[in-house]
Structures are given as C-alpha cells and as structure tokens.
Structure 1
Amino acid sequence: ASEVASAPVRSKPRSASEVASPRDGTGVPDYKHKQTAKVSGFYDGNSTWRVRFAPGKVGEWAYEVEATRGESKASVAGKFQCVESKNPGFVRVDGHHHRGFTHDDGTPFYLMGGGAFSPWLSWVTGAHDWESYLAEHERAGMNCVRLFLYQEPHRGRARREVVNTIAEGFTDRYDLAIAQRLDEAMAEAQKRGVKVILTLFDHHPQKFNWERSAFNVLNGGFCTKPADLFTNLRTRDIQFRMVDYVVNRYGAFANLLAWEFWNEVDLVPGADLGNDKPAVKWHRDLAQHLAEADPYGHIRFTSFSSGVIDAEWFAEPWNEVISFHHYAAYGGGNERNVDEKLHQALGDLRELEKPIVVAELGHQKKKNDMSAAKGEFLRVAMWSTVFQGNYFILWDDADFRIMPETRQHVRHLTSFAAAHGLAALHPIVGPSPIAQGEGLRAWQLADEGTGRKHAVYVRSTRAGAAQVTGARLALRVRDPGTYRVRWFDPKTGETVQERERGT
C-alpha cells in the first residue's frame, strides 16, 4: 500500500536581502552566477525530510539546514565541494537568438520530443517499461517528454493508476509512493539525456470529471464550478502549496526543462481567458510565486488546445514559450497541406521572438494505424515544423505511445539535424521561392553568420506518390565559390545524391 502523509511544505516570502530574484532585468536567469541560495525541503515519509540543491558554480559551498516544529528549532551546518562535470546546466531561452534554447554553459538545446503523459498509466505493464520507453526515445534521438502531474480515469483505465501524481485530489495530502516513483522517472530520463516538461495542471478533471473533483464544493472543496479554480483564494492557496512541494522536490533535477502551468487551459469549462480576466491573473500570480519559490528560474509557459491561438496570452512576459497544439483531426490539414497550415496558424507569433513548440503534434485518426497517408502526414509535419524554425513533441500516435514506425521517421530527422548542425541555422520565414515547379513547396534554414550553410526541405504537395517533373531549385548564396550539395530522403533516411556546384 502506498503511504499517504500530510506534507505542509511552504515557500515563505523572501526579501531581496535573503535571495536574489532568479531573473535579472532582461528576464534571463542569472542562476549560474548566484553565490547564495535559499532552498526549501520536502517531506519524504516517516520522519524524513530532504533538501535537494543544484549548485550553479564550481567550488566550496557552505550550508546551513534549519528545521522547525512549533516553537522548537534545530539547525546543522557544514560544507561540500562542487566539482566540474559534463552536465551543461539547465535549459534557458537563448538570450541572443530568442526563438531558440541553450544550456547554462552556452551549448544549444534542439528540442525534438515524444509524448509521455505519465509513466504510471495501465498500459505500462512492467517495472522496466518506463525505462524501455525512454531507451526507445533515446535511440530515436528524441530528447524531451511531457509528464502530467494530474490524470483522471481515461478510456477505462484503473483509477488507482491515474490518480494525481502528487496530491490526492489537489489537497494537502501527497501520495509519497507516487512522488518517489516520479523521482525514479526523472532520474532515469536524466540518465538518458531526456529533458522533462512537468505539467502542473490539466483541464481533463474539470471538463470530464468535475462531479468527482476534490475542488468541487459537493466533495468538500471550495468551488461551485470549474472556472472558480482561477478566482477562489482558498483553492489557490492549495494549488500553490502543491506547486511549492513539486518545486522543492523536483526543481533541482538537471533535466527539468520547464514548468507548464496548464495543459490546454482554454478547455477548462467557463474559464474567462480575456485580457486581465481571472485566468490571466491566476497565471501572473503563479509566475510571480515561482519567481520566488524556484531558485533555478526554470522556463515557464502554458498551453492551448489544437487550433487555438491567443496572441495576447503568448505575449505575456511570464509566458516564455509559445506552446501550440496541432492535430490533423481538428482542422490541422492532411499530408498535402499540414506544413502550410502550421505556417498560417503561427502567423504573426514569430514577431514575439519566443521559442515556438508544437507541444502536441499528432494525427489522432485511426489509432495504431501507420498507413502511408498517416506516415506522410507525420513526416511532413515534423520536417516542416523544424524547417520553419520551430520545435515539436509528438503525441497520440497509438494511445499516447509513440510507435516504432513513427520513431523511425523521427530518427531520420534527428540524425539529419545532428549531422548538419540545424541548431545553428535560422529560418527564412515563409515558403522559400527557390523551389520552381508545379506542386512544389520548400522551407529554408540558413546560417545567418557566415551565410555558407543552407538547409532546404522540399516537398511535393501532390497526392500520394505522384512524381514532380520539371522542378528546379535556385539557391542564392552570399559568397561565390564551390558548394557541396547533398540530397537526403526524409522517408528512407538515406543520402541519395551528393555533388559539387559552383556559383
């Protein structure tokens, strides 16, 4: 039986003299330069409290641990040595190329992920299933997953396996067995170089199981309707204390990429998403709370459902990533026009100069089916997303699990990206004019520094395997000379032609 125990962990308000803000005046975290930090502990069962801390600087650190219980207080002090390692540090929004990501040590992070949802759902049949799933991600070159901290019964799943990952119905009682399982899941992902986005809240319990929600006043909560989650102060206190526990327990994991406040917040029934309305203010308050509670300054964002674009939300300063969901089943197009659909949907958002992550990219038709059309849709969607300067996380290819056929498509793309340094290239916005010929569309990346490297994704917009004839590519380069031109087939993952061409 799992152990459930009260865990009244809070992050106390901090004055400027105690801890500096994890973000400087430009919004870029200054964590790696911090000389001091204040970190809260977390309860881990019986009489055990733990403190996790990730130093941002090499050298000797002095610490003091203080514990209180009522009027009683105890403390212990000591020192430890932080040594050099291969760990590149936490992921940040790139301070120079604002649509990209970089680690604390300056190395770029090129996000290409696969959906995970949770390592506890009932299709995960064995103790090592999460480990094998991460190994599959690693082999495919996928380097990121999203994990939800809350799930409700879904498609007949057993409730015990999908109860809230941390809190029992978002109350002050936390399931420590599940919390410890998440420790293991985070550690296994870190070992394999897979980053994790932790999603704090989800619309599903409010939309599909409100009658069973612990927040519902009929069940002892304080809300009469789901929209009250953004206005009821007693509920917000519970929510933010749960966030504190999550930050204290998981914030020091080097592979924690970001806090996602809500998954598809627009689907919370009755939520008023207008400018300066309750849902927006709730997010601003949580962002401010995290600025004090999270000593590492992790990336923060929220997400919307497929096809929903809200430029005002994405422009909010706390919303550091534009998280967009895109499915073929919800007006996302087919294999012949998904790239143009993505381009149109994102529109002027590029002007916000933030990373754009298609955090759920999927087909959602005929699950477990990898027909030629579906395979082409996913392939075109992935390649065009990347060549438009964005990032993706696949979703729901077969009941949330990424299948071997899809992983093969991903492997071709990740191998190409690594071999040709796509992380250093930036998009030429809009369909490239270099493709000349009926039924052709092209998307182009270029090296803005030297101008000597270009990557172009060229595709046919015709149905099926129809051949395109009379096609020409006219690529303008800045410097005259001889260039090596390599043709790569995204479907097979093979280089089909390589030759030199002079200007």
Structure 2
Amino acid sequence: MNRHVYFCFLFVIVFSTSVRAGDIKRFDVIELSMQVKKLPANPFRDIEIVALMKSPDGSSIKVDGFYHKDKTWTVRYSPKIIGTWKYTLLLKENGKQKKQMGTFKCVASSLKGFMRISKSNPYRFVTEDGKPFYPIGQQLGWGVPDRIGFDGLNASESNHTDRVNFMKAFHGKTNLIRSQLSAGNKAGVALPIIKGADILNRYDLEACEKIDESCRVIKANGWAQIIIFFQDMSLWGNKSTSFGKVRDLTNYKNLKGKHLKNIEHYMRYVVARWGAYCDIWELFNEDAFSPDDFLKHLAKVVRAADPYKHLMMTSYERPEADWCEVISLHEYMALPSERVPGHLSKEIGRFKSFGKPVLYTEFGNQKPHGNVAPVKWRVSAWTAFMNESALTFWNTSGKIIPDIPSWGGNPNAYMGAKTRDYMKVLADYTAKLPINLRPTIAYTDHQEIELWALANKDLSVLYLHNPGGYEKEIKAEQFIVGSSLGSYTLTWMDPATGKTLGESETVKSRGLSMWLKPPAFKTDLVATLRKIPDVKIPVDTPKQKNKPNEK
C-alpha cells in the first residue's frame, strides 16, 4: 500500500523540520507533499516543488514534483535501493524557498521494477530485478478506466465491467497497458489533460486524478505501462489540438513555434506526475509530420526531467533516431488468420535490422474481418514471441463486431474468455524461458508448414504453424533445427490448451542439428527440447601408501 505523507507549510513557518515517512516497498511509489495557506494565481506555474533524494548507497537524485490538488504540491518517487533514504523537499515561490526534511525506509517487495532492454539480448526486455519480461499488451484508450467494455454478447448492445473485475479477468494473461493522453484531442479515446487552446498552462485535475487511479491499479497488479504524451494521428487528418493543427509546422511542430514553452511545460508535468508509474514514454501516436529536430528536442526535454531514464519511442516509428530506443509498430490485419504469422515474421525481421526491440503497440483486425478472432490472436502472439517481439492488442470487447464485406476501418480485437485462456497458456509457458534464447536454424525442406525456433546451449523451443488453413490436419515429414551436441528430452504441446501431446521422448543431435518429425496438427504446435545433462561417473583411484623418506 502506498504511503501518503503530507507536510503542512506556511509561508512564514515550517511546522516540522524532520519527518519519518515510514516504510515503502521497493519499486512502489511514495508521495511526499507540502501545502500552502493561499493558492497563487496559477498553481501549475507560480510554485515549484522538488525533492533531493539521498539513497542508502550515498548517491543523490533530484526529482521534480507537481501541483497536485487543493493547496497541495507533491513529489512522487519509486525507490530501487533497499535501506533508509533521506530527502529534502524544496518549495519555491517568488524567489523564496522553504524546505522540509525527512526519511523513509525502502523494504523488499515482490514488485519487479521498470522495463529495461536486456544487456544479453538487444531485442528482449527485462525488469529491474533482472528477470525476463515478455510483454503481452493491450490498450483500452487511456489506461484502465473505471468502466470498461468487456465480454459483449452480441453486436447490438454493449457490456461493461468495473476496473477490479477487469484486472482479475486478465490476471496472468496480459502484462502491459498502453495509456493515451492528449492536449485537447479526444481522438482514439485519448484523455485530454489540457482542455482547450486558451488554458495551455493549466491542466484538468479531474482527468489527472483518473490517470492517477489507473496508474495505481496498473502498478499494484505488476503490469508495465506505456504513456503517450500526444494523441496526433496526423497521417489520417489535420485535427485540432490545444497547440494547433496536427500538421502545423509553423506554430506547433517547430522549434521556433510560439507554443514550444507550453509544450515543454506540459511534458515535464506529465513526467513529474506519472513517471513513477511509467515504463516507456511514447512521444506521439501515429504522427507523420513532426520534423526530426522537433522530436529530438522533445525527447531531450523528457530525458532531462525523468529520474528513471525510461525507454522512449514514438509512433509512427523513427528507427534511425538515436533517442528512439524501441520501434513502435501499428498494424491491423485484413489478412485471414493463416496468413498473419508469415506476414508478421517478415515485418518484425525488417525492423529488427535497426538493432532495437520491436514492439507492436497497436494490433487487431481490419475490415472485412470483425473483432472476434481468438485463433488469429493466438497464432499472432506466438509468432511475435518466437521472433523476439510482442503485440499490444487494441481491446474492443464491449461489443461483438461481425465480419463486414468491405475494406477499411478497424474493428480491433475482442479479447473474450477464449482469447484470455490462449494468452495465459503463452504467458505461463514463456515465464519459464531464459532471456538468452536466440533464433536458430529452422529448416522445413519447403514443406507446407511454417517453423520458428529459439535456442541456447541447453534448451530449444519450436513453434510450428499451418499456413494452408486450419480445417484439415497437416502431416509434416522431418525438419531440422539447430542444437548443441547431446541428448534431449522432447515434449510436444498444444498451444490452445497448454496440454502435453503424447509422451516425452529422448532424441539425439546429429552434429549441431536435430532431425524431428512432429505429430499431425491442424493449426499450430509447440515443441520443447531440454538437454539431458551428461552424467560423469566418478572413477575410484587406489590410495598410495606413504613411502619412507629416501636419503
């Protein structure tokens, strides 16, 4: 549970000089606040609060705070190092500064910390505790609202659930949420933090509190979060925002534009308020007009304000930019299910050529297909994982959208009970896999199957897919995968159920490869090859008697 500590401050007297803030769990969020007696004209601009944090190892860090509500200013921080922390809060107004000092103790917890890029595999993620993190994501619009479309029964009426039941339904099935903020633009179900063009330096506190509540739920459930600063979609139209039209390269997306200072202030406010809950910053959503120097500058603003150095990206992707650490892809499938894995594999491979993680941050169906396609979601998610990537489904589950015999438009993805079951099988299986599994030889001899393989020296994982349709069983002949020398235990699994197919068997490598024949299957199949350790038999050696000293 988060500790909320409030410090009462008057302009003349500081009521407490030192406060013990209690215990905070590692990677949780502590809130340190100060209050004033009288609000200034603009509380978002006229008063600043910062915290100087000193960790148990002696290192220090500066954390910016924000105007919270009423007469309260707050600093949020997520500590990484266990032990006693010291802090100094500084509240500044009109050249005057008041301070509040205190301590808190960071204690061990089950929280994993923020997403990072693996040092041993540049296409995978880990958490700060060093464990692999394999995303299975979804987006509902902004965060996790208090009322969510869920398990719709038909096309004529919507069904909803609350935040608690939604998180229970997806527990252990997805682990990443994409949250879309905006400055005066509700397109794409974004939540505007700025309401209009006449109040650029004031933010909607009611909307901010909604994001606060969502962030607390996401953190408590151990999910990661992508936060988008600007809903844009400039490729698809020239919509208005608080800072101007999304294709405006004079006053908006310009380093000499009249709104640049307000844009910077807005971004720093977002970082200060929600940085302790974020894993990846996404500058824009579906922006095709921002100049490179403009994006580079915004990335620099975020990097300077962010004490955690979160990963950063934008959409549409800018893979060659130094500041862009993750490649964010969007795609909606007009292809039939059996053709999607082959397409995904090619697209992921194309963008992996830039040497950065590839993450689909929007994925679902496009017309003529509806939103109900659980098998498509299953084969797509497995294919993405096997190609060292992951998918974020745009979840529109409140209503069933049937197939429509026309092109264009996105019904997105219905993530009902069957899809959730499929995602749980994938999540449970991959949770046991090490981060150093890398693509290896997967040769089908041009049979009508698709095959992807990952391996290290002790373990190989195979995913087989039938691209010819799912009505009839496919009986493949032998295929070849890379391996190290030795004997392996081979197990086949149905990715629809997670159940083992048949008995495990022992197979031996042929040089640095393995020749395997799969059982018949209709849609897809998973194989696990675990190396059998070499057994070294100890050899007894006779003890030598001590020889007498020779002179």
Q: Normalized against structure 2, the TM-score is what?
A: 0.72
2:212: which partner in 1? 183
Which of 135, 145, 148 in structure 1 is aligned with 2:177? 145
Aligned 1:40-51 pairs, distance under 5 A: 40-51=64-75
Q: Give CA deviations for 1:384-422 in whole Å, capped at 9, x if unaligned.
A: 11111111111245466633232222122112212x416
One-letter amino acid of the counterpart of residue 250, structure 1: W
SS at match of 2:259: helix
2:319: which partner in 1? 314
Separation in structure 2 between the aligned mates of residue 83 and residue 8 of structure 1, nearest angstrom: 35
Cα distance change of structure 1 residues 53 and 454 upon mapping to structure 2, 3 Å threshold: same
Which of 294, 300, 310 in structure 2 is aligned with 1:298? 310
One-letter amino acid of the counterpart of residue 437, structure 2: L
Contact 1:152 1:204 in 2 (8 A): no
SS at match of 2:258: helix
Residue 410 (1) aligns with residue 438 (2) = no
Separation in structure 1 between the aligned mates of residue 58 and residue 477 of structure 2, nearest angstrom: 56
Cα distance change of structure 1 residues 224 and 501 upon mapping to structure 2, 3 Å threshold: closer
What percent identity do the matched residue pairs reach?
A: 24
Which of 428, 453, 464 in structure 1 is aligned with 2:440? 428
Residue 385 (1) aligns with residue 409 (2) = no
Aligned 1:85-96 pairs, distance under 5 A: 85-96=109-120
One-letter amino acid of the counterpart of residue 390, structure 1: S
Q: Give 1:285 shift.
A: 0.6
Contact 1:442 1:459 in 2 (8 A): yes
Separation in structure 1 between the aligned mates of residue 310 and residue 98 of structure 2, nearest angstrom: 31
2:518: which partner in 1? none
Contact 1:396 1:402 in 2 (8 A): yes
One-letter amino acid of the counterpart of residue 449, structure 2: L
Contact 2:82 2:108 in 1 (8 A): yes
Separation in structure 2 between the aligned mates of residue 397 and residue 79 of structure 1, nearest angstrom: 45
Contact 2:194 2:203 in 1 (8 A): yes
Which of 425, 439, 450 in structure 1 is aligned with 2:448? 439
Contact 1:260 1:301 in 2 (8 A): yes
Deviates more, 1:126-135 or 1:144-153: 126-135
Contact 1:11 1:244 in 2 (8 A): no
Contact 1:152 1:209 in 2 (8 A): no
Separation in structure 1 between the aligned mates of residue 359 and residue 387 of structure 2, nearest angstrom: 11
1:167: which partner in 2? 194
Q: Give 1:127 shift.
A: 11
SS at match of 2:62: coil
Greater RCO, 1 or 2 (C-alpha within 8 Å, sep 6+): 1
Which of 63, 86, 89 in structure 2 is aligned with 1:65? 89
Residue 78 (1) aligns with residue 102 (2) = yes
More strand per residue: 1 or 2? Answer: 2
More helix per residue: 1 or 2? Answer: 1
Q: Give CA deviations for 1:168-189 in whole Å, capped at 9, x if unaligned.
A: 2472221112211211111111
Cα distance change of structure 1 residues 55 and 467 upon mapping to structure 2, 3 Å threshold: closer
Contact 2:386 2:463 in 1 (8 A): yes
Which of 210, 214, 230 in structure 1 is aligned with 2:253? 230
Contact 2:187 2:231 in 1 (8 A): no
Q: Give 1:54 shift.
A: 2.1
Separation in structure 2 between the aligned mates of residue 468 and residue 294 of structure 1, nearest angstrom: 52
Cα distance change of structure 1 residues 115 and 423 upon mapping to structure 2, 3 Å threshold: farther
1:215: which partner in 2? 243
Separation in structure 1 between the aligned mates of residue 133 and residue 360 of structure 2, nearest angstrom: 16
SS at match of 2:69: coil
One-letter amino acid of the counterpart of residue 355, structure 1: P
Q: Give CA deviations for 1:18-69 in whole Å, capped at 9, x if unaligned.
A: 999xxxxxxxxxx997811111111112211111122332233222211122
Q: Give CA deviations for 1:455-475 in whole Å, capped at 9, x if unaligned.
A: 110111112322223522334
Q: Number of residues paired by the alignment?
A: 440
Structure 2 unmatched ranges of 5 or more: 1-40, 150-157, 398-410, 509-551
One-letter amino acid of the counterpart of residue 70, structure 1: N
Separation in structure 1 between the aligned mates of residue 47 and residue 135 of structure 2, nearest angstrom: 33
Separation in structure 1 between the aligned mates of residue 212 and residue 324 of structure 2, nearest angstrom: 27
1:158: which partner in 2? none
Q: Give 1:10 shift.
A: 9.2
Contact 1:437 1:471 in 2 (8 A): no
One-letter amino acid of the counterpart of residue 490, structure 1: P
Contact 1:200 1:243 in 2 (8 A): yes
Q: Normalized against structure 1, the TM-score is what?
A: 0.78
RMSD: 3.3
Contact 1:287 1:318 in 2 (8 A): yes
Residue 107 (1) aligns with residue 131 (2) = yes
One-letter amino acid of the counterpart of residue 249, structure 1: R
SS at match of 1:57: coil
Q: Give CA deviations for 1:289-345 in whole Å, capped at 9, x if unaligned.
A: 1221101101111122xxxxx6xx20222111111122213xxx3322222212222
Which of 346, 350, 353 in structure 1 is aligned with 2:352? 350
